[in-house]
Amino acid sequence: METYKFKTTINCGSCVRAVTPHLEGLQGVEEWQVDTANADKVLEVKTDSLDAQAIQRAVEKAGFKAEQIA
C-alpha cells in the first residue's frame, strides 16, 4: 500500500465535502483524510493501485489545488 501526501487548498468542512465524491470515486483509494488544522491543509491518501498524478487530477477536478509533498 502506498501513501501519498499533498499540500492543498482544501481548508474547511465544506471543501472536504466537495472533494469527497471525487476521491471516493477513484478505484483504488483505500483511505484518505485532510488535516485542515495544518497550515498546509495536508491531504493523505492511501492506495494500492493509484499514482500521485491520478489523485492530484481528482482533487483539481473538484476545484482545489494539490501539490505532492514528501
| Terminal C-alpha separation, the chain | 16
Question: Minimal CA–CA distance to 61: which of 25, 14, 28?
Answer: 25
pTM above 0.85, yes or no: yes
Overall fold of domain 2-69: Alpha-Beta Plaits (3.30.70)
Annotated domain spans of the chain: 2-69
What stretch of H or E contains 56?
helix 52-61
Alpha carbons 66 and 49: distance in angstroms, whole number: 19
59 residue type, one letter: V
Alpha carbons 61 and 70: distance in angstroms, whole number: 22
Query: Tens digits of per-residue pLDDT, 7-42?
Result: 999 999 999 999 999 999 999 999 999 999 999 999
In the predicted structure, residue 70 carries a pLDDT above the cut 90: no
